[in-house]
Amino acid sequence: MAEVLVYVDHVDGAVRKPTLELLTLARRVGEPVAVALGNGAADTAATLAEHGAVKVLTHDASEYADYLVVPKVDALQAAHEAVSPAAVLFPSSAEGKEIAARLALRIGSGIITDAVDLEAGDEGPVATQSVFAASFTTKSRVSKGTPVITVKPNSAAVEAAPAAGAVEALSVSFSEKATGTKVTGRTPRESTGRPELTEAAIVVSGGRGVNGAENFSIIEALADSLGAAVGASRAAVDAGWYPHTNQVGQTGKSVSPQLYIANGISGAIQHRAGMQTSKTIVAVNKDAEAPIFDLVDYGVVGDLFDVVPQLTDEVKTRKG
Amino acid sequence: MSLRIVVTVKYVPDATGDRHFADDLTVDRDDVDGLLSELDEYAVEQALQIAEDADDAEVTVLTVGPEDAKDALRKALSMGADKAVHVEDDDLHGTDAIGTSLVLAKAIEKAGYDLVISGMASTDGTMGVVPALVAERLGVPQVTLLSEVSVEDGTVKGRRDGDAASEQLEASLPAVVSVTDQSGEARYPSFKGIMAAKKKPVESWDLSDLDIEAEEIGLEGAWTKVEAVAERPARTAGTIVKDEGEGGKQLAEFLASQKFI
Ligand SMILES: Cc1cc2nc3c(=O)[nH]c(=O)nc-3n(C[C@H](O)[C@H](O)[C@H](O)COP(=O)(O)OP(=O)(O)OC[C@H]3O[C@@H](n4cnc5c(N)ncnc54)[C@H](O)[C@@H]3O)c2cc1C
Ligand SMILES: Nc1ncnc2c1ncn2[C@@H]1O[C@H](COP(=O)(O)O)[C@@H](O)[C@H]1O
């Protein structure tokens, strides 16, 4: 069976969930060979093996942390040469997409970004994409070279599929361009203790209707009662009520959880673009005409300052 | 010496319009009004600010697109850019991101540049990969997705807010930069700006001006193929209740019925 390269997104050896989802999809089109780079690369192997990686190619060098994107492109190009895979898959993060694009250009291949599903096809993998703010779905394939495809988080279930996961050192020689963009400082994001927005099964969001940074505690309380991540509309972010990292929508994060709860959000097209593929959608809004109600499975027309705390109490009571 | 800034801007169908596909499965650009991609306004804004801070600078806006794409250039000129280049050719129809990056890179080289500034993503394709591809083709540093950018003494610096960390980046010119919608509100064209834009030069180049063969671009030259498109089925109408004092409890009941609690 053909091998499929899977780029591993990890933090010091801790594999992030979208990579495990990628392994599920990779197994549909071939045998997953994972590529893990940078600090802690070898520590990823056990988790990757549990989820189907037959091999884990690893390489660590300070260049991966000290320079932007290009060292990783060099490494993926080396892996592509070593393996001659049937496809190369990346998580659809900002960095994942940039590495994927430059790799595709170098190896003379077409690229598809932001797939939400992947199947094997007669002429190579077929990717499903959700476009125009999720109002259309398309099926596409790469028609030249080795398909390079980036996949959005929550596009597949994480599955246990034990495989060998043999660690092999990847040999990489960096190109002259690898050190072009220096990373001169790095401030890690502080953990909130809540699930990662793009990975969460439930997302509770607040918009302009929340009316102030201090009121976001109401949204957070509901999120915590459900074990959910917190999201925000751009209006709430622009007003400075919540960090931009929590913005949902076209220029924020794109989420696809099992349950999305929009509070005081009107449902503008750019917001929908980031949440329309959620499985179940619920909204609380005092305006019965708000476009968000066109999307909902369940909606409450009412003041969020009454409805949300009551809901939070009820969730807590029911969960005991 | 003058700092030559090239801003890449895309003409896109209005996101609030009824966007759809043409029969050949390319984006229909005829039936929906187009405009300068809002996300590229941020690139124009940062270019103008960098130019204002430099002793001597020139801002060229560049678009690859159909006849109407001139509207996008006109808007950028009325914001304050100095001149414009429009790459237009019938053979460009259906070009993918890889092909677009080829045309942009050739045009940027022909125009002459020290700094290229792009938007974070186009609002129609939303791939967010063209700036990285252009940097790869030009063989210059990529300093992308910046929410803060400055240029001093031939060095570009900026802040990239990523998922796991916020990074400070630095590279020597020439370089390719892209900026996010966090980089600062774009200015509105003034009346004076709109009048002045009418007199600013707009050059038109076709593929032969850029030594690009028709096979390298367009729908035939694309390295990806859209095989099917389908409108997403409308969501089945949900239940909507009015809060009469029990709205939160009713919602909890719904969530319980769906096994979320
Ligand atoms: C290029 C571009 C990119 C964009 N990207 C994004 C993006 O990524 N994400 C995003 O969200 N937006 C984005 N936007 C902005 C988008 O167009 C909207 O302006 C934004 O989503 C509005 O946020 P909102 O729904 O919170 O605010 P509003 O549209 O003002 O809606 C607030 C809602 O709250 C309700 N409300 C008020 N008070 C209460 C109360 N007490 N109880 C219950 N309901 C109440 C109101 O009825 C109203 O429906 C983008 C725009 C552009 C041009
Ligand atoms: N046809 C085009 N003409 C000019 N610039 C473009 C074009 N397509 C993409 N770009 C630039 O590349 C950025 C990212 O686009 P994309 O990768 O398509 O999301 C945009 O914000 C523009 O700055």
Is residue B171 very low, low, confident or very high in pLDDT (cuts 50, 70, 90)?
very high
Q: Of ligand 2's atoms, which has the minimum distance to the CA of residue B7? A: 23
A199 pLDDT higher than 70 = yes
Mean pLDDT of B86-99: 93
Q: Which domains does chain B have, with CATH numbers?
A: 3-221 (3.40.50.620)
The residue whose CB lies within 8 Å of the most ligand 1 atoms, and thus the one to mutate among A198, A208, A254, A284, is A208
In whole angstroms, how large is the CA radius of gyration of chain B?
A: 22
Q: Are B59 and B46 in contact (CB under 8 A)?
A: no
Range scoring the smallest mean pLDDT among A59-63, A197-201, B32-36: B32-36
Count CA atoms within 13 Å of residue A192 on its CB side: 17
Concatenated DSSP letters for B198-247? TTS-EEEE-GGGGT--GGGSHHHH-SEEEEEEEEPPPPPP-EEEE-SS-H
Q: What is the model's pLDDT at position B233?
A: 83
**For residue B237, how far is its CA from the centre of ligand 1 (angstroms)?**
22
3-state DSSP call for residue A80? helix
CB contact under 8 A, B127 and A114: yes
B237 pLDDT higher than 90 = no
pTM for the predicted model, two decimal places: 0.95
Count of Cβ atoms closer than 10 Å to residue A239 Cβ: 16
**β strands within chain A, DSSP E:** 3-7, 10-11, 14-15, 31-37, 55-59, 87-91, 111-119, 126-131, 136-142, 148-151, 166-169, 182-188, 202-206, 229-232, 259-263, 280-285, 298-301
Beta bridge partners of A36: A58
Question: Is the CB of A271 within 6 Å of ligand 1?
Answer: yes
B31 pLDDT higher than 80 = no
What is chain B's mean pLDDT, rounded?
94
Can you read off the two tokens belonging to residue A247? 């913005």
Cα(B91)–Cα(B114) distance, integer angstroms:
29
Q: How far is CA B148 from the centre of its chain?
A: 17
The answer to whether A251 faces chain B, any CB pair under 8 Å, is yes
Q: What is the pLDDT of residues B178-236, one digit of tens each?
A: 999 999 999 999 999 999 999 999 999 999 999 999 989 988 888 999 999 999 887 78
Can you read off the two tokens belonging to residue B107? 């045009």
The residue whose CB lies within 8 Å of the most ligand 2 atoms, and thus the one to mutate among B62, B64, B118, B123, is B118
Q: What is the pLDDT of residues A16-71, one digit of tens each?
A: 999 999 999 999 999 999 999 999 999 999 999 999 999 999 999 999 999 999 99
The residue of chain A nearest to residue B126, with distances taken between CA atoms, is A250
Q: What is the model's pLDDT at position B219?
A: 85
Mean pLDDT of B51-62: 96
Instruction: Please give the ipTM for the structure prediction.
Output: 0.94
B1 pLDDT higher than 70 = no
CB contact under 8 A, A135 and B19: yes
CB contact under 8 A, B222 and A310: no
A281 pLDDT higher than 80 = yes
Tell me A309's DSSP state. H
Q: Is beta strand A259-263 parallel, antiparallel or unpaired with respect to A166-169?
A: unpaired
Q: Where are the alpha helices (DSSP H) in A54-156?
A: 63-66, 70-83, 94-107
Cα(B123)–Cα(A150) distance, integer angstroms:
18
Is residue B18 very low, low, confident or very high in pLDDT (cuts 50, 70, 90)?
confident
What is chain A's mean pLDDT, rounded?
96
